[in-house]
Amino acid sequence: MTLLFNNVTLRLLGSDDFPAEAKRQAARDLTAAAAVGALTVDVGARFPLTTSPRPTTAWTLVAVAAS
């Protein structure tokens, strides 16, 4: 199901939306979290960039949707 049908709102903020000190504190907090292994990213599938022929965009979207 897509985000549209789940009534989801995404609010994107850029780094220029925050004061310099807040960005420095965020960098310190993220570095500390990474140091203790508290940050993880689940990877559903990997697509090599050097294969020939390269996967098409449609093939990639189908693979992502299936994961």
pLDDT digit string (tens) for 18-62? Answer: 999 999 999 999 999 999 999 887 877 777 766 555 555 665 666
Task: Produce one character per residue of 14-37: b if its CB has 16 or more CB atoms within 10 Å, e if not.
Answer: eeeeeeeeeeeeeeeeeeeeeeee
Confidence (pLDDT) at 65: 62
What's the Cα-to-Cα distance from 52 to each of 27, 45, 61, 62, rounded to whole Å?
Answer: 38, 18, 18, 19
* Residues 47 and 40: beta-carbon distance below 8 Å: no
pLDDT at 2 over 70: no
Tell me 39's DSSP state.
Answer: -
